[in-house]
Amino acid sequence: MQIHVVKKGDSLWKLSQFYRLPWQELATVNRITEKDILTVGQTLLIPTPFTYTVQLGDTLQGIANKIGVNLVQLQQANPGVTDMTLTAGVQLNVPQRKKRSIVTNVFAEPVPKARENFKAAAKGLSYITLFSYEVNEKGELKPLDDTEFLSEIKNENVRPIMAITNIKDGEFSEEVGTAILTNEDITNKVIEDSIKIMKQKGYQGISVDFEFLGKKNKEAYNQFLKTLTDKMHKEGFIVMTAVAPKISATQIGEWYESHDYKAHGEIVDYVILMTYEWGYSGGPPLAVSPIPSVKKVLDYAVREIDRKKILMGINLYGYDWTLPYKPGGKFAKALNPVQATQLAGKRQAAIQYSKKDEAPYFSYWDKDKKEHIVWFEDLRSMKAKFDIVDQYGFAGVSFWNLSFAYPVFWNYLIDRYDIK
């Protein structure tokens, strides 16, 4: 498949003629309904596995990048074709490419929206981590209403992972984390009760997401993970952790200081890098995962963690900020890529793309004459992230979270990779 960026004047009918495909197939693959309006800058997935239709301004290197092959392979499949002979509308042969095999995980709360989105996502998932069993100061796990969702997951070839967190009253709690990590009896209770639940409900592993632990809990957290991992491995379970996006071992801040990349990489099976939230609901308008910032985290991570244990975090959401941004003011509204694209269409706003950040965005005015800016994700930004995953040779990716619908994306994912 290839990615098409909608231009002024495009329609499903015109695109069907250009790519020599039924317009109904384009609509089905991209989940386009009669109510949807094609928006300038919108990305569409074009199911043309054996040929590529040359577009105005294309180069051989650019085409090779688009379809995921190198320049030599493309030239070998199309003898005699050069940049000088490229003409819009000409069909090029697409060489067969060997798919890379990766591990994928998605976080999901057991709510109706996530369960509905799972139907489209299942074919692209190795694991699904149900979020979350909240642990209190006494080591007690708050029950999660996950039984029906687990039943649905078991009908697919996806392994469920149980997430435990130090969340209290909707926020990560250093106090709760300290109580769990510094008391041997409480540590053992958390681990033993987790194993009981996992066996009872059919979980295949555990994901530890203890955040905002401050700086004093680093060694205690490392020891907790050693104890937990030893016991989980004896029971045949895998262990994952989610870590803050650090760029050095000495980074200051209550989110960062207790997350020891080197220790996590040595202890657990997979380390999920939370490489998102530079642009966040309470902050100034930014791309949620700007590539230059993401790469700084990755460059540090590979010095500390085996690449085959790293799952790069990818967001399935964006934000709509009201301008001008004021610290402490109205929080930005979270929205999925489908909602963002529909909003751009409704407001007749052309979607722009930042090559620096590798992220789409657009501006519009609301009915109260207030300006907004929206940063979100599309197929281009997802491709850019996967190019990086391949470049660094990571085990795979982890998505946050399945409450945000992006059905066409899962088609792109399984076209690009073999999912372990």
168-179 pLDDT, tens digit per residue, is 999 999 999 999
**pLDDT, average across residues 18-46:** 89
Phi, psi of 202 (to 5 degrees): 90, 20
Which of 50, 41, 5, 44 has its CA nearest to residue 25? 44
Structural domain 2-93, CATH architecture = Roll (3.10)
| Residue 211 among the catalytic residues | yes
- DSSP assigned state of 141: B
Q: Which of 109, 174, 211, 377 is catalytic?
A: 211
**pLDDT, average across residues 36-50:** 87
Place of tokens 């692209």: 124
Give percent above pLDDT 90 in the chain. Answer: 86
pLDDT score of 69: 81
pLDDT category at 235 given cuts 50, 70, 90 is very high
Q: Has residue 75 got a pLDDT over 70?
A: yes
Q: How far apart are the C-alpha atoms of 158 and 408, rounded to whole Å?
A: 19
pLDDT score of 305: 98
Give percent above pLDDT 70 in the chain. Answer: 99
Tokens of 303: 């010095």
* ∠ CA 203-204-210, rounded to 5°: 80
Among 8-17, 309-318, 359-368, the least confident range = 8-17
pLDDT tens digits along 113-157: 999 999 999 999 999 999 999 999 999 999 999 999 999 999 998
Fold of the domain built from segment(s) 100-335+355-362+367-419:
TIM Barrel (3.20.20)
Q: Are 1 and 47 in contact (CB under 8 A)?
A: yes
- The reported pTM is 0.90
pLDDT category at 49 given cuts 50, 70, 90 is low
pLDDT tens digits along 374-402: 999 999 999 999 999 999 999 999 999 99
Which of 196, 191, 302 has its CA nearest to residue 246? 302
Contacts 24+ apart (CB under 8 A), 61-65: 63/92
Residues of the chain with CATH 3.10.350.10: 2-93
Q: Has residue 48 got a pLDDT over 90?
A: no
Query: Beta strand pairing status for 205-209 and 352-354?
Result: unpaired
Residues of the chain with CATH 3.20.20.80: 100-335+355-362+367-419
**pLDDT, average across residues 394-414:** 96
pLDDT score of 36: 82
